[in-house]
Amino acid sequence: MPDEEKKTVDIDTSGPDAEITIEEAKDETVVETASQETENTDQETEKKDEDLEEYSKGVQARIAKLTRKMREAERRERLQLIMLEL
């Protein structure tokens, strides 16, 4: 930028003075974007929670299945010991 030529344009100021008031407009898109991001984050969090809950249910089912197998094996072992004693 330092090498660029600065260009200026003369403005006609020969007319009567005029007052101009510029109202400050609030940027509502930022607020909407923030609320949309919050909604997206909430939806992502809910999705992750649902995925985690589903995974937890699967883990609990596998633990229950392994526990049943272990108890059945223990029961069979006890029955075999009882039969051997007779």
Examine residue 16 and state whether it is found in any structural domain, yes or no: no
Chain segment 27-76, per-residue pLDDT in tens: 665 556 666 777 778 888 888 999 999 999 999 999 999 999 999 999 99
Residue 42 inside a domain? The answer is no
Structural domain range at position 82:
58-86
84 assigned to some structural domain? yes
pTM: 0.47
* Top-confidence range, 5-14, 28-37, 75-84: 75-84
Query: What's 15's DSSP letter?
Result: S
Distance, in Å, from the CA atom of 43 to the CA atom of 49, rounded to the nearest integer, reads: 10
Asked if residue 47 belongs to a domain, the reply is no
Written as one string, the DSSP assignment of 31-50 is HHHHHHHHHHHHHHHHHHHH
pLDDT computed for residue 44 by the predictor: 86
Query: Of 28 and 7, which is predicted with more confidence?
Result: 7
In a domain, 65, yes or no: yes
Interval 10-31 mean pLDDT: 71
User: What is the number of domains present in the chain?
Assistant: 1
Does residue 25 lie in a domain region? Answer: no
Distances (CA, A) of 67 to 56, 62, 80: 16, 9, 20
Confidence of residue 9 (pLDDT cuts 50, 70, 90): confident
23, pLDDT greater than 70: yes
3-state helix vs strand vs coil in the chain, percent to 5: 65, 0, 35
